[in-house]
Amino acid sequence: MLRGGEVIALFEAARVDVLGASMLTLAHLMYLPTLVVWSASWLAGPGFALGTGTAVSPAGTELGVVPGIPVLGLVPENSSMWMLVAVLVPIACGALAGWMVRSRLVWGRTGTGLWPRAAITAGISVVSAGVAALAAVLASGSIGPGRLADAGPAVGPFALAVGIEVLIGCGILLLTPRHRDELAEERTDFWREQATAAPVD
């Protein structure tokens, strides 16, 4: 998937000197945020376009003529069933967010009911979808004339996929019943506070 050989081949095909190679590298670094958003959309599932009527996603790749930009050598030419495992990455990120929030709730003994935790889960999902939508807007546009005027992730599918996947991951951690260790920790903290607050004769 890394396809480093294709990137090197495109650098060599450009036939540039050291200065030209340095400028190409700097140009790649300038577009790094855009490439990160494209990669995130690929991981989420919807993928991105590299021209009108094209698609690059874990489910399949349909490309026409691709500009000879070295970094585009990373684009996979075909897909496999193993690539579909990539959607576990956003779910894992949602699970991490849920674990962090759950730890704070246990520590502060707040939001222990089902509905508060469900509201927090939905809020994290909506915020994640909103961030994805904004990122897709900023990372989409034209990379050339004609059919290359359409490039980047589609806003709606990207935001929807991120929202659902984060919802699943976050919900697994936040909506599952509290286990005995959490309840024991909560009781220990409660009795410690009670003992500290008790008046001394």
Q: Among 35, 166, 155, which residue's Cα sits nearest to residue 89?
A: 166
For the cut 80, the answer to whether the pLDDT of residue 35 exceeds it is: yes
Q: How would you write the chain as a 3-class SS string? A: CCCHHHHHHHHHHHCCCHHHHHHHHHHHHHCHHHHHHHHHHHHHCCCEEECCCCEEECCEEECCCCCCCHHHHHCCCCCCHHHHHHHHHHHHHHHHHHHHHHHHHHHHCCCCCHHHHHHHHHHHHHHHHHHHHHHHHHCCECCCCHHHHCEECCHHHHHHHHHHHHHHHHHHHHCCCCCHHHHHHHHHHHHHHHHHHCCCC
- 1 pLDDT band, cuts 50/70/90, is very low
Count of domains in the chain? 1
- 12 pLDDT band, cuts 50/70/90, is low
pLDDT of residue 110: 58
* Exposed e or buried b per residue across 71-88, where buried means at least 16 C-beta atoms within 10 angstroms of its C-beta: bbbbbbeebeeebeebbe
High-pLDDT (> 70) share of the chain, %: 73
All residues at 6 or more sequence positions from 84 whose CB lies less than 8 Å from its CB, including other chains: 58, 59
pLDDT digits (tens, 9 = 90+) for 148-193: 888 899 999 999 999 999 999 999 988 877 655 555 555 555 555 5
pLDDT of residue 144: 75
For the cut 70, the answer to whether the pLDDT of residue 69 exceeds it is: yes
Handedness of CA 38, 41, 45, 46 (dihedral sign): negative
pLDDT of residue 114: 78
- 91 pLDDT band, cuts 50/70/90, is very high
pLDDT of residue 75: 78
68 within 8 A of 10, measured Cβ to Cβ: yes
For the cut 50, the answer to whether the pLDDT of residue 14 exceeds it is: yes
What is the residue-averaged pLDDT of the chain? 79
The count of C-alpha atoms lying within 13 angstroms of the C-alpha of 185, restricted to the half-sphere facing its C-beta, is 12
Q: Among 151, 155, 90, 154, which residue's Cα sits nearest to residue 124?
A: 90
Find the domain containing 92 and state its range: 4-197
pLDDT of residue 10: 65
Select the more confidently predicted residue: 149 or 16. Answer: 149
74 within 8 A of 3, measured Cβ to Cβ: yes
Q: Round to whole Å and give the CA distance between 120 and 104.
A: 12
For the cut 60, the answer to whether the pLDDT of residue 194 exceeds it is: no
Select the more confidently predicted residue: 85 or 182. Answer: 85
pLDDT digits (tens, 9 = 90+) for 110-148: 556 778 888 999 999 999 999 999 999 999 988 777 778
